[in-house]
Amino acid sequence: MDRTWRSADRRWLVDEVVDEPGVAYRVWDAGGVPVAEAAGPNELRQLLEGLGVDQDRLVPVPVDDPWCE
């Protein structure tokens, strides 16, 4: 993964994926369960909208943050 964000309500985690063909983003729930994958930014925006998440309000999370583990 390259970068990680969390939703403002801390219910969702979004990873930017590198070196995995066809997957640019992976979304997880707060319990660490994978929810979905998106091939690009437009697909990610639609996915997040379906989850009730405003992509413009995502908060960057350092990859060494314990919440990402």
Kindly tell me if the per-residue pLDDT of 56 is higher than 60: yes
CA pair distance 51, 25, nearest whole angstrom: 15
CA pair distance 13, 29, nearest whole angstrom: 6
CA pair distance 17, 38, nearest whole angstrom: 10
Tokens of 8: 């403002």
How far is residue 37 from each of residues 11, 17, 28, 45, measured CA to CA in Å?
Answer: 16, 9, 9, 11
Model confidence pLDDT, tens digit, residues 24-53? 999 999 898 999 999 999 999 999 999 999
Q: Where are the domains of the chain?
A: 3-68
Give the H/E segment covering residue 35: strand 34-38
pLDDT of residue 57: 95
